[in-house]
């Protein structure tokens, strides 16, 4: 059985989760793992000198558990895959690729954690400009809610810091413009992943 592990990383509110869910619907034998599911409880998240909870750092996440979950999937991808029965009529042309199982891992901080670097077959990174990111973030409801000044005081500076570190230490990242239409991004990712499947099968 062949497997393909795809990282879909990027800035907060860049469209990662939406794209991952839409890809799962279109790709046979596809599962999703979300980094947001590995956040520590609020009581375990550090607070800085300004009173901001430090959510946008690796220490706010159970990263060891995330790595374990990915390796568990690698050992038994069929235990996690969604059913493709409803897709076969509309995706009959993909039957030849169904022996390849795909895991899409989506999250805001995927490529800065050394133990994960060995698992990626494909790495994508969504970017959007500051103003658009701030606008989108303001429309979302978080638990706990963002306190005043949190985006400029913590979220955006941490994004820039981690992006810089990622660029210095990681290769083979495909950067995606998150301001493009959802359909354009979906089409690009879908076709690119299909090409990776074909390479894997050879």
Q: pLDDT tens digit string along 181-201?
A: 999 999 999 999 999 988 887
Collapsing DSSP to helix, strand or coil, 48 comes out as: coil
Q: How confident is the model at residue 55 (pLDDT cuts 50, 70, 90)?
A: very high
Averaged over 3-16, what is the pLDDT? 96
Contact 160, 153 (CB under 8 A): no
Both structure tokens of 180: 């493009």
Q: How confident is the model at residue 80 (pLDDT cuts 50, 70, 90)?
A: low
At the top level of CATH, which class does the domain 2-201 belong to? alpha beta
**Residue pointed to by tokens 């897709």:** 87
Work out the end-to-end distance of the chain between its first and last CA atoms, rounded to an integer number of angstroms: 13
How do the domains of the chain map onto residue ranges? 2-201
Sign (positive/negative) of CA torsion 117, 126, 82, 194?
negative
- Is residue 132's pLDDT more than 80? yes
Both structure tokens of 17: 């989760």
Secondary structure E strands in the chain: 2-10, 30-34, 100-107, 122-127, 173-177
What mean pLDDT value characterizes the chain? 89
pLDDT, tens digit, 9 for 90 and up, residues 141-184: 888 888 999 999 999 999 999 999 999 988 899 999 999 999 99
- Is residue 41's pLDDT more than 90? yes
Give the model's pLDDT for residue 170. 84
User: Nearest Cα to 14, choosing from 106, 149, 123?
Assistant: 106
User: What stretch of H or E contains 68?
Assistant: helix 63-75
Averaged over 107-127, what is the pLDDT? 95
Averaged over 127-134, what is the pLDDT? 97
- Is residue 96's pLDDT more than 80? no
Tell me which residues are annotated as active site.
Answer: 36
């Amino acid at each position: 059985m062949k497997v393909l592990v795809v990282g879909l990383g990027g800035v907060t509110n860049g469209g990662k989760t939406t794209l991952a869910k839409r890809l799962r619907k279109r790709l046979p034998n596809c599962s999703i793992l979300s980094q947001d599911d590995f956040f520590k409880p609020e009581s375990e998240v550090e607070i800085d000198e300004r009173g901001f909870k430090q959510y946008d750092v690796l220490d706010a996440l159970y990263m060891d558990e995330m790595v374990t979950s990915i390796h568990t999937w690698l050992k038994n991808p069929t235990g996690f895959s969604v059913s493709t029965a409803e897709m076969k009529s509309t995706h009959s042309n993909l039957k030849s690729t169904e022996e390849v199982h795909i895991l899409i891992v989506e999250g805001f901080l995927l490529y800065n954690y050394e133990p994960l670097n060995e698992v990626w077959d494909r790495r994508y990174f969504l970017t959007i400009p500051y103003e658009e990111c701030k606008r989108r973030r303001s429309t979302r409801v978080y638990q706990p809610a963002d306190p005043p000044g949190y985006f400029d005081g913590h979220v955006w500076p941490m994004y820039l810091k981690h992006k810089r570190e990622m660029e210095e230490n990681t290769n083979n990242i495909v950067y995606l413009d998150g301001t493009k239409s959802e359909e354009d991004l979906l089409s690009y990712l879908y076709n690119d992943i299909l090409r990776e499947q074909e390479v894997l099968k050879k």
